[in-house]
Amino acid sequence: MSDQASTAAPPKAGLADLLRHSADLITGLQDPSGAYPASPTFSAYRGYSWFRDGSFIAEAASRAGARWKEAKLTDSATRFHRWCARILTDREPHIREIVAAQRAGHHVPERSMLPTRFTFAGEDGTDEWWDFQLDGYGTWLWALAAHGERTAGDLTPFRAGASLAVEYLAAFWDRPCFDWWEEHNEHRHLSTIGAMVGGLEAIADAQQPDGTSLLPVATRTLARRGAHAAREFTSEHGIGPDGALRKWVGSTEVDASLASCITPFRLVPPGSPVARATLDRICADLEVGGGVHRFRADVFFGGGQWPLLSCFLGWALADSDPELARTYLEWAVAQTTPTLDLPEQVPTHLLHPSHLEEWVERWGTVATPLLWSHAMVITLADVLGLT
């Protein structure tokens, strides 16, 4: 027996310990500005907060705050939403200008579009990035509406920012952009469309504590029209020959981020044939032993398995098959380091192992902790009634 085999393995994290640690990381690492770092020390992410990651992190903080009656967590989510709203209102003249140009039929160059990530101070980044991504603005609207509904809080401070996000998405939803994985800006990605539809519909329905609508009628109409057009587009172009949502328009591949089009974004109804075909395809092509890959051609750090994607898959399955959903949560929980941190991905099953080294050389070891991974464990545990 080798030394290694005789050394006792570190005890596996219990769910309760991991949930507590995850919540503490989220509040402890949140910047005073309200921004959530994607990962505090990872070279390529340090100093930046993403609308996409942050909105899912805020959702987890909001859920845990409500479940555990911890005002600190609820306030953390509120502070992130304030940070997002300010980013938008600070850019109001610019947003109005590009939306007007688009409506007038002028081409708006990609460099004029809003970035996907910002410094904690709310500035655009100065590093090169694959910045034009629309999904984060939809995800933010969805998370804001969910937080408002959960807390019955006054959303007035967010109205101006949310209205600008609606105008932006309603004008640009059908434009190709980089996807969740910051790739392929030449395509229209169905998970990006899902986030926009989910956000536009949720914010159009959002109500104030007194039962009045958050948004004025004209903005609600804009949001609903944009979402409707994106739904029509999905029916026409978004479904592949196997009946599953496509990774992008024209592709016959699937992407694990498409699980979000079922839950939480409801681009396709849970239980519908398209939802079932999409989840079957994700399980068949991308799931190995509970761990979920992003997409088959993924070479990033060799193309490992992402705890946050196992949680998205579990979330989409939670209503129809909670037992199966729980196995995905368990897989994610088992990926903690001895200090209970969760990485962005794990190399337990690599799709393209020969590509691992080049990424380690370029950016260092995999981002750990990744706050979005921690957030998704909280959310799935909460959905399954395990918080």
Known catalytic residue at 179: yes
Known catalytic residue at 182: yes
Nearest CA among 386, 352, 51 for reference residue 192: 51
**Measured CA distances, 7 to 2, 11, 12, 336 (Å):** 9, 12, 14, 18
Closest approach, Cβ 151 to ligand BGC, in A, equals 26
Residue 52 binds ligand BGC, judged by CB under 6 A: yes
CA distance 76 to 34: 7
Cβ closer to ligand BGC: 306 or 331? 306
Cβ closer to ligand BGC: 182 or 382? 182
Residue 56 binds ligand BGC, judged by CB under 6 A: no
Count Cβ atoms below 10 Å from residue 371 Cβ, excluding itself. 30
| Residues in contact with 320: Cβ distance below 8 Å, sequence separation at least 6, in sequence order | 270, 271
Contact call for residues 36 and 384 (beta carbons, < 8 A)? no
Q: Which of 167, 179, 287, 382 is catalytic?
A: 179
**Minimal CB distance to ligand BGC: which residue?**
38
Known catalytic residue at 344: yes
Please identify which residue in 19, 23, 25, 50 interacts with ligand BGC, judged by CB under 6 A. Answer: 50
Q: Which stretch binds ligand BGC (CB under 6 A): 77-85, 180-188, 285-293, 352-360?
A: 180-188
Q: Which stretch binds ligand BGC (CB under 6 A): 47-55, 90-98, 104-112, 283-291?
A: 47-55
Residue 312 binds ligand BGC, judged by CB under 6 A: no
Cβ closer to ligand BGC: 50 or 331? 50
Q: Which stretch binds ligand BGC (CB under 6 A): 11-19, 174-182, 233-241, 325-333?
A: 174-182
Residues in region 223-252 near ligand BGC by CB under 6 A = none
| Residues in contact with 223: Cβ distance below 8 Å, sequence separation at least 6, in sequence order | 166, 169, 170, 200, 201, 203, 204, 215
Q: Which of 182, 201, 255, 298 is catalytic?
A: 182
Cβ closer to ligand BGC: 44 or 108? 44
Please identify which residue in 13, 26, 45, 162 interacts with ligand BGC, judged by CB under 6 A. Answer: 45
Torsion angle, alpha carbons of 128, 129, 131, 136, to 10: -140
Residue 180 binds ligand BGC, judged by CB under 6 A: yes
Q: Which stretch binds ligand BGC (CB under 6 A): 95-103, 176-184, 225-233, 281-289?
A: 176-184
CA distance 277 to 209: 39
Dmax over CA atoms of the chain, in Å, equals 74
Q: Which stretch binds ligand BGC (CB under 6 A): 14-22, 144-152, 175-183, 311-319?
A: 175-183
Please identify which residue in 131, 182, 255, 382 interacts with ligand BGC, judged by CB under 6 A. Answer: 182
Question: For residues 32-42, b (16+ Cβ closer than 10 Å) or e, as one string?
Answer: ebbbbbbbbeb
Tokens of 211: 């039962």
CA distance 45 to 24: 20
Closest approach, Cβ 178 to ligand BGC, in A, equals 9
Cβ closer to ligand BGC: 49 or 387? 49
Nearest CA among 337, 347, 340 for reference residue 306: 347
| Residues in contact with 177: Cβ distance below 8 Å, sequence separation at least 6, in sequence order | 113, 132, 133, 134, 185, 189, 192
Contact call for residues 54 and 33 (beta carbons, < 8 A)? no
Please identify which residue in 13, 25, 35, 38 interacts with ligand BGC, judged by CB under 6 A. Answer: 38
Residue 53 binds ligand BGC, judged by CB under 6 A: yes
| Residues in contact with 226: Cβ distance below 8 Å, sequence separation at least 6, in sequence order | 166, 169, 170, 173, 196, 200
Residues in region 251-310 near ligand BGC by CB under 6 A = none
Active site residues: 179, 182, 344
Site for ligand BGC, rule CB under 6 A: 38, 45, 50, 52-53, 180-182, 370, 372
